[in-house]
Amino acid sequence: MPDARQPWALVLGASSGFGEATARALAAAGYDIAGVHLDRRQGQAHVKAIKTAIAASGREAYFANMNAADDANRAEFLAGLRERFEAQQATTGRQPYVRVVMHSLAFGTLKPFLGPDADSSINRKNMEMTLDVMAHSLVYWAQDLWRGGFLGDGSKVYAMTSEGSTRVIGNYGAVSAAKNALESHCRQLAMEFAKHHTGVTVNAIRAGVTVTPALMQIPERDELIAHATSKNPMGRMTTVDDVARAIVALSAEGTHWITGNVIGVDGGELISG
């Protein structure tokens, strides 16, 4: 039986990289898009272009430029989303719900643990901020979305992880820790959503090394790109569209039993020597 509800996707990190590509792909597949991003003024024209592309797909775009790890911002954003839902239901008669949640935030400290002095080494604030934005914020969004009744049977939560969760890479220590925490949070949320019989599934998506603004911030990027290119058995690096297409496919009907996993979307990069 066709679903009478209107699917929305909430993309945290919607202005760039994986989040942008997935927001665009889900809009083309019929989802309305709620997007959160954190950009300076020079990035706003790009955000406007993304919203225009979503509108051109005939879908709604509700975006906010804010720190996704801030509790007050999150509450305000969700209050605005609720108003959108109520207005949409009143005009279309369809029940909106958040079918896809994507956590794709890149905001980490890239300092070594053992720099030559305290200033060039990671400190408590750096560590806590990286873990809060890149991992713990997933839990707080999931709590509020669930308690607020935004999720429904068939909703899917995805969080972007990387090979860095199991490999040591230069100055990636704090992000590596965040990826471990994020994968753990996905398992815990998957189990708790299942026990509450919500019909909500949660999986981490482990993308291969992909050229995005976040990758270009990593000091070891050239080595990472060269390594991924030579190692990937598909003969090329992962692209943001590879991940976007995978998320659209995984979000279709019939995937309700896939939960609590780390799903590789890397063309076989991790398993290749």
State the residues that interact with ligand NAD by CB under 6 A.
13-19, 36-39, 67-69, 104-107, 133-134, 160, 162, 207, 209-210, 212-215
Cβ-based nearer residue to ligand NAD, 104 or 171: 104
Q: How far apart are CA 264 and CA 270, in angstroms?
A: 8
Residue type for position 234:
M
Minimal distance, residue 182 CB to ligand NAD, in Å: 8
Minimal distance, residue 220 CB to ligand NAD, in Å: 12
Q: How far apart are CA 135 and CA 88, in angstroms?
A: 32
Please report, to the nearest 10 degrees, the dihedral formed by the alpha carbons of residues 124, 128, 134, 135 taken in order: 130
Contact 92, 6 (CB under 8 A): yes
Cβ-based nearer residue to ligand NAD, 106 or 190: 106
Tell me which residue has its CB nearest to ligand NAD. Answer: 17
Q: Which two tokens stand for residue 7?
A: 């699917």
Cβ-based nearer residue to ligand NAD, 13 or 173: 13
Minimal distance, residue 212 CB to ligand NAD, in Å: 3
Q: Which two tokens stand for residue 254?
A: 């019939």
| DSSP-H helix ranges across 151-252 | 173-195, 213-217, 221-231, 240-250
Minimal distance, residue 135 CB to ligand NAD, in Å: 9
Cβ-based nearer residue to ligand NAD, 153 or 222: 222
Cβ-based nearer residue to ligand NAD, 57 or 104: 104
Minimal distance, residue 97 CB to ligand NAD, in Å: 23
9 Cβ partners below 8 Å, 6+ apart?
22, 23, 26, 27, 31, 32, 33, 34, 98, 99, 100, 101, 102
Cβ-based nearer residue to ligand NAD, 6 or 36: 36
29 Cβ partners below 8 Å, 6+ apart?
248
Minimal distance, residue 173 CB to ligand NAD, in Å: 14
Cβ-based nearer residue to ligand NAD, 37 or 231: 37
DSSP state of 94: -
Minimal distance, residue 215 CB to ligand NAD, in Å: 4
